[in-house]
Amino acid sequence: MTAAEIDGLIQALTVFILAILVGIAVISKVPATLHTPLMSGANSIHGIVLVGAMLIAAEATEPISQLLSLVAVAFATMNVVGGYVVTDRMLQMFRKKPTVPKPVAEEAEA
């Protein structure tokens, strides 16, 4: 490996480790109520793999490579689109609904 290659690897590892620490710091504060939406939200974020799938599709010339990248793009898009939509549907339900005024609690003692 050349010095430049080693530099590149170390830089990439640095970014990787720091991103893990950021992930831990951000996520440990989320209340249990939101864990399922959070899991779904995190699930959509790894749909970023679509960027990689598009880049390999752009370079694909062999038929096998074209097929692999087509499947990769379709998979990744499904992850992105489905992930965000289903997370939004879940979170939409957490909206505060207008509360109906309740009758006073005493008359039940009949």
Partner 1 sequence: MTALQIVEILVRIAWLAGAVAFVIGLSRMNSPATARNGNLVSAGGMAIAIGATAVLILTQQLSGDGIQPAAWLIIILGVVLGGGLGLYTARTVKMTAMPQLVSLFNAVGGGAAALIAIDDYLGLAAGSAIRIDTNIFIVLDIIIGSITFTGSIIASAKLQGLIPGKPIVVPGGQLVTLALAAITVIAALALFVTGTPNLALMVVILAAALIFGVTMTLPIGGADMPVVISLLNSFTGTAVAMAGFVINNPVLIIAGALVGASGAILTKLMADAMNRSVMNIMIGGFGGGDSVAGAAAGAGGSVRAIGPDDVAIQLAYAQHVIVVPGYGLAVAQAQHAVRELAELLEERGVDVKYAIHPVAGRMPGHMNVLLAEANVPYPQLKEMEEINPEFERADVVLVVGANDVTNPAARRPGSPVSGMPILDVDKAKSIVVIKRSMGRGYAGIDNELYTNEKTGMLFADAKEGLASLIAAVKAV
Residues 21-80 that bind partner 1 (CB under 8 A): 21-24, 26-62, 64-66, 68-80
Nearest distance in Å: CB 63, partner 1: 10
Distances (CA, A) of 107 to 11, 65, 103, 104, 110: 70, 74, 9, 7, 7
CB of 84 to partner 1, least distance (A): 5
**What distance in Å separates the CA atoms of residue 68 and residue 55, rounded to the nearest whole number?**
12
User: Do 53 and 74 touch, CB atoms closer than 8 A?
Assistant: no
Least separation in angstroms between residue 3's CB and partner 1 is 14
User: How many CB atoms are closer than 10 A to CB 53?
Assistant: 22
Q: Interface with partner 1 includes 19 (CB under 8 A)?
A: yes
- Establish if 105 lies at the interface with partner 1 (CB under 8 A): yes
The count of chain residues that interact with partner 1, using the rule CB under 8 A, is 94
4 scored as a contact of partner 1 (CB under 8 A): no
